[in-house]
Amino acid sequence: MPRNRQTVGVGLIGSGFMGRCHANAFSAVAGLFDVPVKPVKTILADATVDLAVEGANALGFERATSDWQELVNDEAVDIVAITAPNVFHEPIALGAIAAGNTVYCEKPLSTTVESALKMTLAAEATGVVTSVGFNFLRNPMIKLAREIIGSGEIGKITGFRGRHAENYMASSDAPHSFRTEPAGGGALADIGSHIISIGRFLLGPVTAVFGDCTTIHTSRPIALGTMERRPVEVDDMTLALLKFENGASGSIEANWAATGRTMDLSFEITGTKGAISFTQERMNELHLYSTGGRCSGFTKIESGPEHPPYGQFCPAPGHQLGFNDLKVIEVAELLEAHATGKSCSVDFREALQIQEIVEAIAASSRSGKWLRV
Amino acid sequence: MPRNRQTVGVGLIGSGFMGRCHANAFSAVAGLFDVPVKPVKTILADATVDLAVEGANALGFERATSDWQELVNDEAVDIVAITAPNVFHEPIALGAIAAGNTVYCEKPLSTTVESALKMTLAAEATGVVTSVGFNFLRNPMIKLAREIIGSGEIGKITGFRGRHAENYMASSDAPHSFRTEPAGGGALADIGSHIISIGRFLLGPVTAVFGDCTTIHTSRPIALGTMERRPVEVDDMTLALLKFENGASGSIEANWAATGRTMDLSFEITGTKGAISFTQERMNELHLYSTGGRCSGFTKIESGPEHPPYGQFCPAPGHQLGFNDLKVIEVAELLEAHATGKSCSVDFREALQIQEIVEAIAASSRSGKWLRV
Amino acid sequence: MPRNRQTVGVGLIGSGFMGRCHANAFSAVAGLFDVPVKPVKTILADATVDLAVEGANALGFERATSDWQELVNDEAVDIVAITAPNVFHEPIALGAIAAGNTVYCEKPLSTTVESALKMTLAAEATGVVTSVGFNFLRNPMIKLAREIIGSGEIGKITGFRGRHAENYMASSDAPHSFRTEPAGGGALADIGSHIISIGRFLLGPVTAVFGDCTTIHTSRPIALGTMERRPVEVDDMTLALLKFENGASGSIEANWAATGRTMDLSFEITGTKGAISFTQERMNELHLYSTGGRCSGFTKIESGPEHPPYGQFCPAPGHQLGFNDLKVIEVAELLEAHATGKSCSVDFREALQIQEIVEAIAASSRSGKWLRV
Amino acid sequence: MPRNRQTVGVGLIGSGFMGRCHANAFSAVAGLFDVPVKPVKTILADATVDLAVEGANALGFERATSDWQELVNDEAVDIVAITAPNVFHEPIALGAIAAGNTVYCEKPLSTTVESALKMTLAAEATGVVTSVGFNFLRNPMIKLAREIIGSGEIGKITGFRGRHAENYMASSDAPHSFRTEPAGGGALADIGSHIISIGRFLLGPVTAVFGDCTTIHTSRPIALGTMERRPVEVDDMTLALLKFENGASGSIEANWAATGRTMDLSFEITGTKGAISFTQERMNELHLYSTGGRCSGFTKIESGPEHPPYGQFCPAPGHQLGFNDLKVIEVAELLEAHATGKSCSVDFREALQIQEIVEAIAASSRSGKWLRV
């Protein structure tokens, strides 16, 4: 039974892949979730007026602008969604916070811990609701993993074996981009942050790290389609060892040159009484081993209505959620938080802490020593 | 670059699971596909005014009605989407066709071949665009399978081993519903039609069938939560052998009492030079064996942008599509057909032919003999 | 603690692949199992003296002969192992039985039901111990499947979905051999018999069959390396429907032209409370679904010491058994039966009944009607 | 065509699990491989005369002794196989070397690098053939992996992600044994050595290591069935980062408290043009990704006769090798080396180098710094 819903105005900055993804999630959420407020796609901002108008038209926004400051200060805007390049996250977020808006920012929160800290403090000072787009955490299977761990079913956690491996930079001819900028770039920051966010979500705080960052391709073309190359200053692959506050030890790998892997965001978590294994490549499955069972092997748990909010999307198991559904779940949580003032599960503070781990791993790699976080 | 799009009015009948699914697809399609016309959710009809108003509010329709005849005849409605119970498909579709609307009907087309034929002839007489919701065919992996077969890569097709197995009626306490009505009910009609639709889509016409229909639970509760039971007149499991026009032999199983299976809509297709294997339980993967390769095993092909229209949803492989995305693809094809007059891949004629195979299998089971289709 | 063991003399006829396989099993068994009698490799017979001498030397037999009659009548021989071509099974077995030997015969028992019946009656008249080499049944995982079914854990069995698919005759240039002889040849007899033996072992008697036998390649070279071809009179692929005495319905496929499959001897067994799935391609795993569990998926059970006689081979799970180990298990059972007079799990009578099903399926295919078995 | 084979006498020390495994391999090898010399099981030594006699009887040795010195000096013994506890490896091996025997020693070579070095130098001084039982390397799939890497098919190797995880010490009630002795014990030495041996076999020398050794259960019962506990001084889990001479970076995990894992001796090797993935839990499969292919996924290569020496065991793919077959392959190589003087692939020198890496990882863990090897 839907509540009598008020509307909230959404201002979106950026209309690239993640911009479209946000827009679609705002379109779909009210038909799938019983959200307390109903989003209205109010203004879209992009780098130029032409881009903005085109984006607004394609994505169903009422108005368009090339001036994000106009957007964040517009009366009709309640929620500001930031999918602009990483270097713009800080100024836009600070502007949106100053205007009292709820802020929904794509990951990483910013390009440096220093910048991310400034954003976090500003948000906390004003008390606005914040959310950062670590969408993989929205998967009901990840939530189920957390519940299983929390219930004690697999005992005390002893090990975490994580990985985020993709192949989109595997070729030495994959060109430079914002992803290879020294500030905030590299495989560790770009995708390692996902597996770190999962480690924290499931096991809690990390207390120490040891890192080994490697640049596999030491030069890349300056742009697509050119022969001219310049040196690479960021990592293609990072291996790291972790210590968790709960006593577990672990390792992670962040690798964007992992030939053959499209989305091996995966982990195995070992406890004294069981284990959990997962890969995003089969995101509708969680594999559970529990010593309480009579059998010696892992059980494939298939995503279904018993794993909320799967049931918002499909009435029966086996149908399967897709990537875009994760974003809808993220937006549903955002709207709930906006209406109630509750925190989002990845707010600016949490995103800051993920980024601190990223920087500590990189610093450890330079020093060759364990670093406390 | 989006075309300058006109709008089309959508009237939806029914607001249950499939109704929501249609509504969401109409909401999402214009943000994801460059569709020639943009759908407007105009009227929602349901059994009572209260249900209709509530559904229209939840799903974002402008108006509500308890009278589907009013809906199909409304000036503002161009496309009629039918998700009402199967027994209403015929009268609603005939009404919508008479009013000149494009008709988008959930499967099965109707409860009998006779009724489905009447609907098909009416549609063909007026020339309206029709589409039937065999959504699993919309999966880019299924389309890829068809392309591989068409290219000759796996040689002449010799075998088709298909199955649609779920467990939603596995308990003898799963109650009667419209699914167990003698007219149009049973596992063969309900889910066997999906694997038949895939067989036809990939291998072409079926020329002969031999069926064996079994009722596993001979009585079921008359409704959920009651002890009173009445006999079951439909099949829980059907096994059938098929002959295809292209010379291949095959078998299918339709089983809604398949304990342990949530969505094993699966097949293995064998050719003289290769083979293809698929299950909906891992809908973002197609497994291909090709004798041209150096290796003796199957290759896991992961769904990605090179398999249209995956790229409309996600920019890179590994992200994965979900069930609801299949419905969006179906609606995108419908809008293209509506605008251009092209046929949809499952129009009333194709759905009728699927239903003819369903009835032939059931008749063969009764006679114990092969039946020509 | 080994018993004080007597020795038994083994006479082996044939030194091809299966002959080597038998010889190795007789060599290994006493070091792995606490067998009541210890086999001595006494005489090897083959088609010529040269072949026999070479085989005896390679496989460690004391003597060699080209005359199987000499072998079966030799005082020192207690067990006769027959791996000669199928057409010789009957005369050799009858000779061995007449001499009072235990007889260990490779499958199929013979080329026709009539011949197999004659062998069975002869064995039963004299009371000699017999065993037929359906080695896949020796897998501890198959034994476990039988125990699970017998315990009632997966409820009343409703469905059997079996297959034996390989690719060794997939090419139309794979030549004729004894396997394509009209008497006793074809995919159904050659490999279909394996999946039938598993069906009987796990579910019990088959009461009716419906078959569809297909010849995919209508001619083949008369021998390897020649262009000359002659027509094929046997099936490459057989699909069949089965009715079991316990009320279950099922289907099987026997296919030796299954491009891409090396040993898909597989089944899924569905019960009202659970399901079991297996493939010989991963012979150390059994997948079990049980509604008593908290999870919606299959559990991978890995072969281990808790599944006898795995522990005779390896002390811990994960090490894995291989094909040749199955033959050792078969020989261990044979020696136990030889010493105690107990029946082997596949004796001549059981092998005869498997063959009766094979012939009934073929006859049903010709008549287009269900046949009682 | 077998060569005219001479015999060699085998003396085996120890009749526990690995002793039986050796005995069976010596029994089976001549029937499966065309070995240049044929082993005769001459003497078995064990801790007491009773144990030795019983073992000799069970495993088919001609004589028994409780004095290994008698065994190594016996005229009839050519090959000494050592499966005694690790602390006896050095004295026995030195005695066998002094007597001029070929020495076949179970892993680890010894309890310390110092001891292993002494053994290696002694063997090299006399020139006897040596082999150490790293049996997992004998898998044809591992050999295939090496060939693929050597061929350049997957390009320059950039990453190695290895693991050996089992659960046999996962319970805190699993008692102390020789495996938990400070000298030579712990998960790293016991099973980490396997994944290190694979790393070296496939990628070549390791140049630097960083280790993190963890004791999960800080006390264990002093023996099975007692409540009395004493502290544990060895690691249950070790995580390590590696640098290879070929430029690749990698990580390994050795974990004998990995609840849910029976034999996850696994790796993924990433190259600039492809990747290879393997786990011993499915030891008859190698998964290969090659950018030369048209597909985006891994291909499952099934073990078959095209991967020597698989064909010595089974004539067709799909049958599968088991653990005990690996030992037969190891013994076949040993006999070839014995007859020709060629090196075995893991001789004392290679085993010493594996052990040096083990000790370097442990030392690095204590120092918190990278160590050169």
Nearest Cβ partner of C293 from A285, A293, A306? A293
Determine, for residues A296 and C285 on separate chains, whether the beta-carbon distance falls below 8 Å.
Answer: no
Count CB neighbours of C257 within 10 A: 26
Nearest Cβ partner of B216 from C158, C170, C261? C158
Count CB neighbours of A62 within 10 A: 12
Which pair of tokens denotes residue B333?
């094809």
Burial degree of A229 (CB within 10 A; 0-12, 13-18, 19+): middle
pTM over 0.90: yes
Nearest Cβ partner of D31 from C58, C263, C322? C58
The interface residues of chain A toward chain C in range 280-299, judged by CB-CB distance below 8 A, are 285, 288, 293, 295-299
Q: pLDDT tens digits for A7-61?
A: 999 999 999 999 999 999 999 998 899 999 999 999 999 999 999 999 999 899 9
In 3D space, the residue among B291, A222, D197, B44 whose CA is nearest the CA of residue C170 turns out to be B291
DSSP string, D145-206: HHHHHHHTTT-SEEEEEEEEE--TT-STTSPP-GGG-TTT-SHIIIIIHHHHHHHHHHH--E
Q: Average pLDDT, stretch A318-332? A: 94
Using the predicted structure, report yes or no on whether residue A176 has a pLDDT greater than 70. yes
Q: Average pLDDT, stretch A127-147? A: 96
B123/B1: higher pLDDT = B123
Burial degree of B46 (CB within 10 A; 0-12, 13-18, 19+): buried
Cβ-Cβ contacts under 8 Å, D369 against chain A: 368-369
- Altogether, the residues listed in chain C come to a count of 373
Q: Which pLDDT score, from 0 to 100, does residue B4 have?
A: 46
Q: How many CB pairs under 8 A join C and D?
A: 115
Using the predicted structure, report yes or no on whether residue B294 has a pLDDT greater than 80. no
Q: Average pLDDT, stretch B57-73? A: 95
Burial degree of B6 (CB within 10 A; 0-12, 13-18, 19+): exposed
User: Cα B243 vs. chain centroid, distance in angstroms?
Assistant: 22
Using the predicted structure, report yes or no on whether residue C350 has a pLDDT greater than 50. yes
- What is the pLDDT of chain C when averaged over all its residues? 95
Which pair of tokens denotes residue C236?
């490459």
* B321 CB within 8 Å of a chain A CB: yes
Rounded Cα–Cα distance for residues B45 and B23 (Å): 12
ω before D309 within 30° of 0 (cis)? Answer: yes
Residue D159 phi, psi (nearest 5): -145, 145
- Are B329 and B175 in contact by the 8 Å Cβ rule? The answer is no
Q: pLDDT tens digits for A222-252?
A: 998 899 999 999 999 999 999 999 999 999 9
Cβ within 8 Å of residue B91, ≥6 positions away: none
CA dihedral B308, B309, B310, B312 (to 10 degrees): 130
For chain B, the distance separating the N- and C-terminal CA atoms, rounded to the nearest angstrom, is: 46
Determine, for residues A297 and C306 on separate chains, whether the beta-carbon distance falls below 8 Å.
Answer: no
Burial degree of C316 (CB within 10 A; 0-12, 13-18, 19+): middle
Q: Average pLDDT, stretch C331-347? A: 96
For chain C, strand residue ranges (E) read 6-13, 37-45, 63-65, 79-82, 102-105, 130-132, 157-165, 206-214, 219-221, 229-231, 237-244, 249-255, 264-271, 274-279, 285-290, 299-302, 371-372
Task: Mark out the alpha helices in chain A (DSSP H runs).
Answer: 17-32, 49-59, 68-72, 89-98, 113-126, 140-150, 187, 193-203, 323-340, 348-367
Distances, alpha carbon A71 to alpha carbons A19, A27, A44, C310, in Å: 15, 19, 8, 70
Using the predicted structure, report yes or no on whether residue A353 has a pLDDT greater than 60. yes
Residue of chain D whose alpha carbon sits nearest to that of C282: D282
Cβ-Cβ contacts under 8 Å, B372 against chain C: none
Q: Which pLDDT band, with edges at 50, 70 and 90, does C297 fall under?
A: confident
- Are B249 and B243 in contact by the 8 Å Cβ rule? The answer is yes
Q: Which pLDDT score, from 0 to 100, does residue A58 have?
A: 86
- Are B313 and A28 in contact by the 8 Å Cβ rule? The answer is no
- Are C145 and C276 in contact by the 8 Å Cβ rule? The answer is yes
Rounded Cα–Cα distance for residues C281 and D126 (Å): 46
- Are C137 and C344 in contact by the 8 Å Cβ rule? The answer is no
Q: Which pLDDT score, from 0 to 100, does residue D293 have?
A: 65
* C62 CB within 8 Å of a chain A CB: no
Task: Mark out the alpha helices in chain D (DSSP H runs).
Answer: 17-32, 49-59, 68-72, 89-98, 113-126, 140-151, 187, 193-203, 323-340, 348-367
Determine, for residues C263 and D32 on separate chains, whether the beta-carbon distance falls below 8 Å.
Answer: no
Cβ-Cβ contacts under 8 Å, D259 against chain A: 154-155, 270-275, 289, 291
Cα angle value C16/C17/C21 (rounded, 5°) = 115
Q: Average pLDDT, stretch D213-219? A: 98
C296/B264: higher pLDDT = B264
Q: Average pLDDT, stretch B126-150? A: 96
| DSSP three-state, residue A73 | coil
| DSSP three-state, residue C142 | helix
Which pair of tokens denotes residue A142?
């990840």
Q: How many CB pairs under 8 A join A and B?
A: 116
Rounded Cα–Cα distance for residues A64 and A62 (Å): 7
Using the predicted structure, report yes or no on whether residue B181 has a pLDDT greater than 60. yes
Q: pLDDT tens digits for C202-236?
A: 999 999 999 999 999 999 999 988 999 999 999 99
Residue of chain C whose alpha carbon sits nearest to that of A296: C301
Q: Average pLDDT, stretch C322-348? A: 96
Q: Which pLDDT score, from 0 to 100, does residue D295 have?
A: 61
* B306 CB within 8 Å of a chain A CB: no
Using the predicted structure, report yes or no on whether residue D3 has a pLDDT greater than 50. no
Using the predicted structure, report yes or no on whether residue A170 has a pLDDT greater than 60. yes
In 3D space, the residue among A121, A111, A14, A33 whose CA is nearest the CA of residue A327 turns out to be A33
DSSP for residue C16:
S
C205/C290: higher pLDDT = C205
- Are C329 and C345 in contact by the 8 Å Cβ rule? The answer is no
Q: Are strands C237-244 and C249-255 parallel, antiparallel or unpaired?
A: antiparallel
Nearest Cβ partner of B301 from D295, D306, D317? D295
Q: pLDDT tens digits for A256-281?
A: 999 999 999 999 999 999 999 999 99
- Are B82 and B167 in contact by the 8 Å Cβ rule? The answer is no
B57/A162: higher pLDDT = A162
Q: Which pLDDT band, with edges at 50, 70 and 90, does B237 fall under?
A: very high
Q: Which pLDDT score, from 0 to 100, does residue D1 have?
A: 32
